[in-house]
C-alpha cells in the first residue's frame, strides 16, 4: 500500500489573509504557485466567490495528482515550474502566493532522495519527469563546479574538501548513487560540526537548490509578478532560508522605491511598482506544533498603479 505523506501548511491564515484581505477581492483570479498538498489552495478556495478563480502550479507529479482530486470549477492545476507564471495575461492576477522549497511528502519519502536522514536514491528533483538527478550530475561535474555549488547554495566552509572527496570516491569506486553514501562522505570531509546540525545539511540544501534551479526560478517568477499582477494585486512569498529570503527582500525593496535616471537628473522618477506591506513570522505556538515552520518568513507586497 502506498504511504499517505502529509504536509502541515505553514503560515496558513497569515498568507491567505495577506493575499485576499477582504471580500471585495473574492471574485479575482489567484495563483498558488506551489500547490504542495494544497493547504493554502483549499483555504483560498474557501474565501473565493463563485466568480473567483484559482490557478495552481507545481513541478511535482505527486502534488499535481493530489490537486486533481479537488473538484471545483474555479480551480485548475498546471504541472509546470512557477517560472512560467509570466504566461498568464498581463494585469490579470489579484494575488500570487509562493510557499517556497519542498513539502514534507517530498522530504519524508526516501525514494525522492531529498534527505540524509533516510537512505534512498540520490535524486532530489521536484519534477522527476525531466532533468538530471543529483546522482547523475555528481557523476560527471567538475570538482570546481561541485565546490562552487556547495559553497554558494549551502554557504558551506568545507565545500572544496567535500568536492575533492566526491571526485576521489568517483575515481576509486564509481559514482555515488544513494543519499547515505553522500551523507557519509560529507561527514568525513567536514571538519567542524555545527551543534545540533547534521554535517550533510548544507551540502544537501545546496545540491537541492542547484538541481531544481530554485533561486533562478524564484527570480524569474518575481519579475513576472510585476507583469501579471493587477493594480492592488498582492504578492505573498514564504521563504525558508536566507538565500531565498534575501532575493525576495531585495526584489521588494528594489521595486518599492522611485527610480531616478542619473543621466536625466531633472526628469520625473519612474514610479515604484510595489508597495511593501511587511513581513510575518510564525507564532511560537505554530513553531511548537510544527518545527519545520521555525525558519519561515512571509513577505507581502502590493502592486501599485502604473503612473
Ligand X SMILES: C[S@@+](CC[C@H](N)C(=O)[O-])C[C@H]1O[C@@H](n2cnc3c(N)ncnc32)[C@H](O)[C@@H]1O
Chain residues binding ligand X by CB under 6 A are 7, 9, 34, 36-40, 57-60, 63, 81-82, 99, 101-103, 126, 217
CB of 40 to ligand X, least distance (A): 4
CB of 7 to ligand X, least distance (A): 5
CB of 224 to ligand X, least distance (A): 12
Nearer to ligand X, 186 or 224 (CB): 224
CB hemisphere CA count around 113 (13 angstroms): 23
Judge contact between 301 and 277, C-beta under 8 A: yes
Nearer to ligand X, 7 or 202 (CB): 7
Task: Provide the grid cell at 146.
Answer: 561541485
Nearer to ligand X, 36 or 154 (CB): 36
Q: Which ranges of the chain would DSSP assign to H, the alpha helix?
A: 12-19, 39-47, 61-67, 104-108, 134-140, 143-154, 159-173, 179-189, 201-211, 214-228, 242-255, 284-289
Nearer to ligand X, 39 or 233 (CB): 39
Edge-to-edge strands of the sheet including 75-79? Answer: 75-79, 53-58, 29-32, 93-99, 229-239, 297-303, 274-280
CB of 164 to ligand X, least distance (A): 30
- Tell me which DSSP letter residue 67 carries: H
Nearer to ligand X, 16 or 159 (CB): 16
Chain position whose Cβ is nearest to ligand X:
36
Q: How are beta strands 297-303 and 274-280 bridged, if at all?
A: antiparallel
Residue whose C-alpha cell reads 575515481 in the numeric block: 171
Nearer to ligand X, 39 or 154 (CB): 39
CB of 257 to ligand X, least distance (A): 27
CB of 235 to ligand X, least distance (A): 15
Whole-angstrom distance, CA of residue 116 vs CA of residue 30: 36
Amino acid at each position: 500500500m502506498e504511504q499517505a505523506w502529509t504536509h502541515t501548511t505553514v503560515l496558513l491564515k497569515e498568507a491567505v489573509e495577506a493575499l485576499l484581505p477582504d471580500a471585495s477581492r473574492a471574485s479575482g483570479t489567484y495563483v498558488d504557485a506551489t500547490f504542495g498538498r494544497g493547504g493554502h489552495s483549499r483555504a483560498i478556495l474557501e474565501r473565493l466567490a463563485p466568480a473567483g478563480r484559482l490557478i495552481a502550479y507545481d513541478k511535482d507529479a505527486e502534488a499535481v495528482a493530489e490537486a486533481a482530486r479537488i473538484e471545483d470549477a474555479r480551480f485548475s492545476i498546471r504541472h509546470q515550474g512557477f517560472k512560467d507564471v509570466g504566461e498568464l495575461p498581463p494585469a490579470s492576477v489579484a494575488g500570487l502566493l509562493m510557499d517556497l522549497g519542498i513539502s514534507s511528502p517530498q522530504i519524508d519519502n526516501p525514494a525522492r532522495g531529498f534527505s540524509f536522514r533516510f537512505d534512498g536514491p540520490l535524486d532530489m528533483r521536484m519534477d522527476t519527469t525531466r532533468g538530471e538527478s543529483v546522482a547523475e550530475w555528481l557523476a560527471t561535474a567538475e570538482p570546481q563546479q561541485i565546490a562552487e555549488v556547495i559553497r554558494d547554495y549551502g554557504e558551506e566552509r568545507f565545500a572544496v574538501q567535500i568536492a575533492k572527496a566526491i571526485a576521489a570516491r568517483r575515481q576509486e569506486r564509481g559514482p555515488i548513487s544513494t543519499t547515505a553514501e553522500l551523507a557519509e562522505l560529507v561527514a568525513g570531509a567536514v571538519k567542524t560540526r555545527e551543534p545540533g546540525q547534521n554535517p550533510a545539511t548544507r551540502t544537501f540544501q545546496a545540491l537541492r537548490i542547484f538541481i531544481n534551479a530554485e533561486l533562478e526560478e524564484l527570480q524569474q517568477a518575481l519579475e513576472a509578478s510585476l507583469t501579471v499582477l493587477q493594480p492592488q494585486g498582492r504578492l505573498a512569498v514564504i521563504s525558508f532560508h536566507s538565500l531565498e529570503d534575501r532575493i525576495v527582500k531585495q526584489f521588494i525593496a528594489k521595486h518599492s522605491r522611485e527610480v531616478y535616471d542619473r543621466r536625466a537628473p531633472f526628469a520625473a522618477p519612474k514610479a515604484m511598482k510595489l508597495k511593501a506591506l511587511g513581513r510575518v513570522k510564525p507564532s511560537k505556538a505554530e513553531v511548537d506544533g510544527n518545527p519545520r515552520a521555525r525558519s519561515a518568513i512571509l513577505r507581502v507586497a502590493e502592486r501599485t498603479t502604473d503612473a
